[in-house]
Structure 1
Amino acid sequence: MTVAAAGTDGVCAVVLAAGEGTRLRPLTERLPKALCPVGNLPLLDRALARLAGLGLAGPDRVAVNACYLADQVVAHVGGRAHLSVEPGDPLGTAGGVANLRDWIDGRPVLVGNADAYLADPAAPPGPDIAALLDGWDGQEVRLLGQPAPDPAAPGTFDGHVFTGFSLLPWRLVRDLPAGFGDLVRAVWRPAEAADALTVVPYRGTFYDTGTPADYLAANLHAAGDGLVDPAATVTGTCRESVVGAGAAVHGEVDRSVVWPGAVVRVGERLREVIRAGDDLTVPAARPTART
């Protein structure tokens, strides 16, 4: 099978949203990482919009897995996608896909990490990942990637850093073992060793949003000069920050994220932090930007 001109006929998609987001704690003690907002839009919604840009939408074409704080993910997704709730601990990236084998049912699958922030200034959501499908032979594994600062570093593929989306043929999905596992060991490295893995270059901006620093950086990138939801109240000052719906800023906010419903009191001065509620402030260290 050859998928020409980045067509998606016969292809399905899986968005991985089951992880605990331990590096983003304590923020992820309140929200699953997939629902943490970037530019006032939950990361999961960004991933779904990116797939919809390729014509992949609805429960027949897109699945979302959930485990940690699964009730929140299930309620948020609703009927927009097929839901796979994993009991107990998360099954990992390979286990999450294997658990959807009956739903995938013979189709190639485009797998995306909900926590990947991609921003391509040259294209609206969708066409940037269409390159994974363009001219695909239906057999090789494809990864979206960017050149790594150290091409020989562990975790790189052909000198590239993985940027959140991969394309898998059914024959490999069919053979994934049940239970916990990750795609790196189960699929990508074996395909690389067999010379059956291709890295497709991504030229936009990427953050994996896994740490407070990268999460803040993704928000600042999405915000540009600043982004304040119309339903927020601002009587103080905001500089280059993201302020969510229902938030109240009465103090000073500089290069920070104020979550929906959060409060910044009179006299408070926040810089390069994430504020959640009225009692949680998470500082961010230097990000690991890749553009």
Structure 2
Amino acid sequence: MTISSTPVPVCGVVLAAGEGQRLRPLTETLPKALCPVGNLPLLDHALRRFAGLGLSGPDTVAVNAAYLAAQVVAHVGRRAHLSVEPDGPIGTSGGIGRLRPWIDGRAVLAGNADAYLHDPVRDPGKDVAALLDGWSGETVRMLTMPCRPGESGGFSGHRFAGLSLIPWRYAKDLADVDSSLVRTVWRPAEAAGELELIGYQGFYLDTGTPADYLAANLHAAGGVTLADVSARVTGAATESVLGAGSVVEGTVVRSVLWPGAQVAPGEHLVGAVRTAAGLTVHA
């Protein structure tokens, strides 16, 4: 579809195929894209952001899946076009390359499912609309944040912040093989003087590690306890996120309880993530 801020037809792709190795053991039985932040799966945050731009439905939005793909497929249902990589993840570039027949001449707004973004003054979608504003369809655009002190790499002192806008003339040449957008799109565009860096005005975290995943949840909680209506607290919970059906009979401080997780009487859980199976990961 064509978005009002650009005359170029654009589709959205949520990249959700990764194994989440840095987030293990949390991702041993649950895909990273389905890990909840603020009691909403990361994948749903991404789909909501696309919907805020007017991109929704299987004709306009695609989700790729590989690791524990059946869970991603079941979760997405008919909300988006699904692209399953049967032999395992083939990278951000390969994932888009596999979708070329579906993309069919459109530009691609590609978003990492594990990106947590929050703008306190703009709704999801509107917070990244600058990526599309006035775009000619010729350049590659990347949402960015300034590099942190001592951080190496990046692009002209900036780091990737979860979303990139890719013209069809770049997307059409992406192969269905294991590769990354860094190698096939971003660095070549940078070398050609065709990479535009668009600053993100809100808060961004790559939730790839337990520490950053916990930090994203605590940010979503906003300094208080964010509890699903079905969570039961007979103990105490401070600055935490409590999932559906979770039970707190002890004390929880700056932690995340996944749906169905429990904290027993007399137990003190601090700075950790706990699953329904009882797995506890300290960050």
TM-score w.r.t. the length of structure 2 is 0.97
Give the superposition deviation at 1:122.
Answer: 1.4
Aligned residue number for residue 261 of structure 1: 260
Cα distance in 2 for partners of 1:141, 1:276 equals 39
Contact 1:264 1:278 in 2 (8 A): no
Cα distance in 2 for partners of 1:44, 1:192 equals 29
Tell me which amino acid in the other structure corresponds to 1:184: V
Give the superposition deviation at 1:4.
Answer: 8.2
Cα distance in 1 for partners of 2:273, 2:232 equals 17
Give runs of aligned pairs for residues 198-277 of structure 1, distance below 5 A: 198-224=196-222, 225-277=224-276
Cα distance in 2 for partners of 1:21, 1:57 equals 25
Contact 2:63 2:82 in 1 (8 A): yes
Q: Does 1:42 find its partner at 2:30? A: no
Aligned residue number for residue 289 of structure 1: none
Tell me which amino acid in the other structure corresponds to 1:219: N
Q: Does 1:158 find its partner at 2:166? A: no
Aligned residue number for residue 287 of structure 1: none
Cα distance in 1 for partners of 2:218, 2:275 equals 16
Cα distance in 1 for partners of 2:238, 2:187 equals 44
Deviation track 1:87-145 (CA, whole Å, cap 9, x = no partner) reads 11201000000000000000001000000000001101101111111111101000000
Contact 1:138 1:169 in 2 (8 A): yes
- Judged with a 3 Å threshold, the aligned counterparts in structure 2 of structure 1 residues 206 and 174 are, in CA distance, closer, same or farther, namely same
Contact 1:5 1:135 in 2 (8 A): no
Cα distance in 1 for partners of 2:254, 2:151 equals 34
Root mean square deviation, CA, Å: 1.4
Deviation track 1:141-198 (CA, whole Å, cap 9, x = no partner) reads 00000111248722x0121010000000001110112211100001100100111001
Tell me which amino acid in the other structure corresponds to 2:53: L
Aligned residue number for residue 102 of structure 2: 103
Q: Tell me the matched-pair count.
A: 281
Aligned residue number for residue 195 of structure 2: 197
SS of aligned partner of 1:131: helix
Contact 2:12 2:109 in 1 (8 A): yes
Contact 2:214 2:255 in 1 (8 A): yes
Aligned residue number for residue 21 of structure 1: 20
Cα distance in 2 for partners of 1:194, 1:253 equals 52
Q: Where do 5+ consecutive residues of structure 2 fail to align?
A: none
SS of aligned partner of 2:179: coil
Aligned residue number for residue 288 of structure 1: none
Q: Equivalent pairs: percent with the same residue?
A: 63
Cα distance in 2 for partners of 1:211, 1:152 equals 17
- Judged with a 3 Å threshold, the aligned counterparts in structure 2 of structure 1 residues 95 and 64 are, in CA distance, closer, same or farther, namely same
Aligned residue number for residue 283 of structure 1: 282
Cα distance in 2 for partners of 1:4, 1:42 equals 26
Tell me which amino acid in the other structure corresponds to 2:198: V
TM-score w.r.t. the length of structure 1 is 0.94
Aligned residue number for residue 51 of structure 2: 52
Give the superposition deviation at 1:279.
Answer: 2.0
SS of aligned partner of 1:20: coil
